[in-house]
Amino acid sequence: MTPSSDIPAVSRQSWRVLAVSTLAFTVCFMVWMMFGVIGIPLQQSLDLSATQFGLLTAMPVLTGSLVRVPLGIWTDRYGGRIVMAVLMASTVPAIWLMAHATQYWQFLVIGLFVGLAGGTFSVGTPYVARWFPKQRQGMAMGVYGAGNAGSAVNKFLAPALLVVGGWTLVPQVYAAIMAGTVVLFWLFSAHDPRHLVPSTVRFSDQLKALKDPRVLKYCQYYSIVFGGYVALALWMVQYYVGEYGLSIQSAALLAACFSLPGGVLRAIGGALSDRYGAHRVTWWVMWVSWICLFLLSYPQTEFRIATVDGVRAFHLGLNVYVFTALMGLLGVAFAFGKASVFKYISDEYPQNIGAISGIVGLAGGLGGFVLPILFGLLLDLTGVRASAFMLLYGVVWVSLIWMYWTEVRRTDVMGAAPAHKASELERS
């Protein structure tokens, strides 16, 4: 491990860029997750099915995912400051218009434009990483990624606004917050021409690395640790309301027990990945997620048993406290996993972070788009709310098997090679 004395000092400007970028990403993520709360009164007023509700919440995630690859490439070429500022400013009109929508299709269309806010992840990740030495890039990207806590901010702020002025007040306030954040970001961020990809490098050159099979594997990992996080952040408020009969305010507060650690602790995941390596952290993340999802998958069950004293009825299922504790642990695991996956990228693609983080972020975002729709479809088909966790449990199984065959087993065969060499073994 590199001695701390050998790590280059970090300038005050670098820390300022990281701080204001993290603030901007937090606000963008708060806006991106807006339907997770206001979607509940909309579902009631528009009489939406579970599948329609899933599609409503997922629409912003779709565009926020699709734009990640070009945004990552543009960040490499033009710089994160200008790309981030323009992107955030472009979402303000759509956020404001949300308050004036009245029909289901209008919410879907406007949601696509609001979803551009989610693309800021692929801008900020390479932007902040290049302000820090390689030994601290995992930490820097983890701190920036802690902006995922905007999901928890949404769960605190939106229910309060619902009480004050109804759901239409939420997008109006969020538009004002976004506009103010654009100004703050521009004032306190900075641009360094040395961080740009040389002009002699073409887009096609940047995209060549996407043919690497390792990228597909990292997409799979990220589809669960980020895609699963986004999907559950959107789904959990209505889950608490339907499963445990809570009010929106109480449900949002408990759902924040998953969203908050799932965002804030990403910085710790980045530091752990710097210290112990991306592979080791990701391996344990997948196993902890597997255990939590196995327990969460068990539905509320009523059964009757014939005994010597007659028929007796039993109930088996998670109460709200145990369920919330498991969700909190799952949020911690996802937070560490989101950071460790991007540590893989900064280690293996230091000259192409923007493009690679864009494609991996795209995969994670698409997971966040598809999963809520599948949650709703499974609920409509089975009537079992826990079916959402059953689906995620299967996705984690895929990741564990893939990681075992491409990293764990290969290192065992090669005589316990260091974990950070797993990617080199895979290429061979």
Distance, in Å, from the CA atom of 111 to the CA atom of 141, rounded to the nearest integer, reads 27
Residue (of 71, 233, 248) closest to 149 by Cα position = 233
Residue (of 115, 11, 14) closest to 55 by Cα position = 115
Regarding predicted confidence, which is higher, 211 or 415?
211
Distance, in Å, from the CA atom of 247 to the CA atom of 274, rounded to the nearest integer, reads 41
Cβ atoms of 159 and 252 within 8 Å: the answer is yes
Mean pLDDT of all residues in the chain? Answer: 85
Token pair recorded at residue 159? 């229910």
Dihedral of the CA atoms 233, 154, 366, 185 (nearest 10)?
-140
Q: What percent of the chain has pLDDT over 70?
A: 89
Distance, in Å, from the CA atom of 284 to the CA atom of 287, rounded to the nearest integer, reads 5
Cβ atoms of 243 and 388 within 8 Å: the answer is no
pLDDT value for 215: 84
Q: What percent of the chain has pLDDT over 90?
A: 41
Residue (of 39, 56, 381) closest to 237 by Cα position = 39
CA angle (402, 405, 409) in 5-degree steps: 140
Distance, in Å, from the CA atom of 294 to the CA atom of 291, rounded to the nearest integer, reads 5
Identity of the highest mean pLDDT range in 24-28, 59-63, 67-71? 24-28
DSSP notation for 43-82? HHHHT--HHHHHHHHHHHHHHHHHTHHHHHHHHHHH-HHH
| Count, residues in the chain | 428
Token pair recorded at residue 69? 């690859």
By mean pLDDT, which of 109-113, 276-280, 343-347 is the weakest? 343-347
Does residue 378 register a pLDDT over 70? yes
Which neighbouring-strand residues pair with 312?
305
Domains along the sequence of the chain with CATH: 12-427 (1.20.1250.20)
Q: Residue 207: which pLDDT band, with cuts at 50, 70 and 90?
A: low
Q: Is 303 exposed, middle or buried (0-12, 13-18, 19+ CB in 10 A)?
A: exposed
Does residue 416 register a pLDDT over 80? no
CA atoms within 13 A on the CB side of 421: 12
Q: What is the pLDDT of residues 313-362, one digit of tens each?
A: 888 888 999 999 999 999 999 989 988 888 888 788 777 776 777 788 78
